[in-house]
Amino acid sequence: MRSKTIAFVASPTRDAREAAALLMRRYDHVSPEEADVVVALGGDGLMLQVLHRFMDAPKPIYGMNRGTVGFLMNEFGEDDLRERLDNAHRSVIHPLLMQATDTEGRAHTARAINEVYLLRQTHQTAKLKISVDGQVRLEQLIADGVLCATAAGSTAYNLSVGGPILPLDAKLLALTPISAFRPRRWRGALLPDYARIRIEVLDAGHRPVAAVADHTEFRRVCTVETSLDRTTNLVLLHDPGHSLDERILREQFG
């Protein structure tokens, strides 16, 4: 892409703030709302925050790692930033749309770039009924919870609870149990990315469950529906040879 106006956004850590100050001295910049491209300095958490910030008015985000893992980020460097932006590869991802209803009958909506998950709120396990595209697929899952991850988010929480890594172009969603007790042998499912997933919380009054879309949480839910929001296109920029597809592929080989 041909870069035009640039904005810098940094996490509150010292390394990120110092990196932002250095780049702002070297390159002309505007506010994030006015920019054609946003350069995010921090870790994966900051990248998710920036993507959420511009969810309703998406613009390309180029991350540079000033955090810990930096799976979604490029390597930090102060030189040739405009050339790097001009030569960057674009990865387009869609978020999950979560629609939840709580035990008081209130409706809640949120989007998730990585995952939507349900998690028990007390010492008691959750009891969940899972339907896909209107058909009941699991009458009762007894577990700590269940998680639905996008391909972009499959290497995050999904991987840590034993879910599969999905190539970015696989057009799949991962449905993964969190510490399943019954049925013991259910390890989850791979679903087409157009699937609509509905999860009902059984005995929600005595076994309260929270629903989370990335970092947005609603407590004491009784139903949760989620599906891919194809109307929202989020653009990540990566240096050649370090695209999100390549990073996901590398992750599968350790």
Active site residue ranges: 44
Backbone angles phi, psi at 24, to 5 degrees: -70, -25
Return all residues near 166 (Cβ < 8 A) that are at least 6 apart: 149, 150, 151, 154, 172, 174, 190, 248
Measured distance CA(242)–CA(231) in Å, rounded: 26
Q: Read off the amino acid at residue 124.
A: Q
User: Which helix (H) or strand (E) covers residue 192, if one does?
Assistant: strand 189-192
Measured distance CA(54)–CA(238) in Å, rounded: 18
On the CB side of 116, how many CA atoms lie within 13 Å of its CA?
26
Task: Give the closest residue to 177 by CA, choosing from 149, 203, 155.
Answer: 149
Angle, CA 183 vertex, CA 181 and CA 187 arms, to 5°: 90
Q: 167 preceded by cis ω (within 30°)?
A: no
| Contact call for residues 117 and 178 (beta carbons, < 8 A) | yes
Task: Give the closest residue to 127 by CA, choosing from 149, 144, 115.
Answer: 144
Cβ neighbours of 138 (radius 10 Å): 17
